[in-house]
Amino acid sequence: MTKKQKLFCTVILVACAPMPASLGAQSPEEYQKRRQAVRSKMEPSSVMILRSGAQSDEGARFRQDNDLFYLTGVAARNTSLILYADSRATGSQPAGPGRPAGPGEILFLSPPAGGRAPADQKPPERPGFEAVRSSSEFQSYFDRTLLDTASVVYFDYQRSRNLNGPLTADEQILKQARDRGAVFAVKPASSLIAPLRRIKSPAEIELLKTAAAITAEAQKEAMRTARPGLYEYQLQSVIEHVFSFNGARRPGFPTIVGSGENSCILHWSENTRQTRGGDVVVLDIGAEFDMYTADITRTIPVGGTFTKRQRDIYEIVLKANQAAIEMVAPGVDMRDVSERVNEVLTEGLVRLGLIKDRSQLRRYYTHGLSHSIGLQVHDVGGLGRLEAGMVITIEPGLYLPEEGFGIRIEDDVLVTERGRAVLTEAAPKTVEEIENLMKEDGLDYSRYLLKGPGR
């Protein structure tokens, strides 16, 4: 096998591996159970309205609203969902008081593109839904629902940003309904959905495992390719190449490649600096696969070897990372895990003479330890006491801006019935593992790298 063939196979490792059968195929029954769980929590006679997210940038790839996707599995534009606490919708519009019972949920979809005129086309069938209508009918259902509901409307609507500014389109619709005598309270739909999203199903866990596997491969390829003189954005391009080649068509969040002093900036994503010998580089990255995102951070020496000072700090952070992971289990309070991490970091910094006691730790450790991941990189539902099915990050870090470097190590951890499973073990983490991998050949970009006056 030639060197080029070896490099190519390295990048497509995840793509060539057998994929779990459930990938991209959460069952209609699973989405149906979620909708039933939400309806069971809704107040009597209430209604929930969810719509596709607005597209923020013209030409940008559309991404579905997380809650709507969680309840429907539909990733297409112009999708809406109406859920009724009571099965009271019937005929061509929602039923009012005293009208006969009908479907308790209506999914609105756009008809397929092409062929006959859109008005003559039916929306595609969706297994598991009680009723499916064309997206062109949604507005009339929406208006009628507001006028007929005499209880609560669960609706995450767009709000104006100041008291003196104009009302948003959503606020105008709510006002018009009330002006016509409608009496209802508006509550956030997310308040009922977020607790459900906290615990991941087996199908969701498989998606997160795949996102983590792709992200780990990207970390490894960035380690192989890194060398002094590369720009941060060039390492970013290597990372996102591995993502897309393996079916993760976008990052779950802006890719962070922070070298030198930028390694001390928590959410640095400009990625404009040219790396230099002696730098460490913080790679905080996550592939999004079928709407679910991983989140792995590794810190590497761009020249292939940590200095003694960098290694000393790295080993403290690694010890904290490992101590936290060992505590993850059902019933554990994350405050206790954070406290243990604080102890480990404090002990290490005191030993190096950087601080005198715990009260000075925040000088070098400036962020929280953990967050949930799922449909968002900072997923909803909170942490608190851990339960089986949660997927969380463990990410201690130490930052020494006066010395021009920071260290962060982050893993994704599934809480299991008996303890934990680290989803990101494939990403090298010890000093020896990182330095050994960085001796291998990375992507050969010399064929297309411009040289000379044209650069």
Per-residue pLDDT of 105-152, as tens digits, reads 999 998 876 545 455 567 878 889 999 999 999 999 999 999 987 789
| pLDDT band at 446; cut points 50, 70, 90 | confident
Structure tokens at 14: 């995840």
| pLDDT, tens digit, 9 for 90 and up, residues 266-302 | 999 999 999 999 999 999 999 999 999 999 999 999 9
The residue-averaged pLDDT of 400-411 equals 98
Which residue in the list 365, 408, 411, 412 is annotated as catalytic? 408
Structure-token match 């009208």, residue found: 99
Verify whether residue 371 is a known catalytic residue. Answer: yes
| pLDDT, tens digit, 9 for 90 and up, residues 370-393 | 999 999 999 998 899 999 999 999
* pLDDT at residue 151, rounded to an integer: 87
| pLDDT band at 55; cut points 50, 70, 90 | low
* pLDDT at residue 102, rounded to an integer: 55
Which residue in the list 399, 411, 412, 420 is annotated as catalytic? 399
Verify whether residue 284 is a known catalytic residue. Answer: yes
Which residue in the list 148, 217, 232, 410 is annotated as catalytic? 410
Query: Where would I find the H helices in 368-446?
Result: 431-437
Verify whether residue 367 is a known catalytic residue. Answer: yes
Which residue in the list 367, 385, 444, 445 is annotated as catalytic? 367
Phi, psi of 21 (to 5 degrees): -60, -25
Buried b (16+ CB within 10 A) or exposed e, 407-442: bbbbbbbbbeeebbebbbebbbbebeebbebbeeeb
| pLDDT, tens digit, 9 for 90 and up, residues 150-202 | 789 999 988 888 878 888 888 899 999 999 999 999 999 999 999 999 999 99
First to last CA, the chain: 33
Which residue in the list 378, 385, 403, 425 is annotated as catalytic? 378
Verify whether residue 67 is a known catalytic residue. Answer: no
Q: Which residue has the higher pLDDT, 81 or 88?
A: 81
Strand stretches in 74-217, DSSP E: 80-84, 89-90, 93-94, 105-109, 132-134, 152-155, 185-187
Structure tokens at 158: 């767009």
Verify whether residue 241 is a known catalytic residue. Answer: no
Which residue in the list 77, 116, 267, 385 is annotated as catalytic? 267
pTM (2 decimals)?
0.90
* pLDDT at residue 57, rounded to an integer: 54
Percent residues over pLDDT 90 in the chain: 76
Structure tokens at 156: 């995450």
| pLDDT, tens digit, 9 for 90 and up, residues 88-109 | 444 444 444 433 355 789 999 9
Which residue in the list 284, 288, 379, 411 is annotated as catalytic? 284
Verify whether residue 29 is a known catalytic residue. Answer: no
Verify whether residue 410 is a known catalytic residue. Answer: yes
| pLDDT band at 58; cut points 50, 70, 90 | low
Please name the amino acid found at residue 237: S
- Domains, the chain, ranges and CATH? 28-196 (3.40.350.10), 201-454 (3.90.230.10)
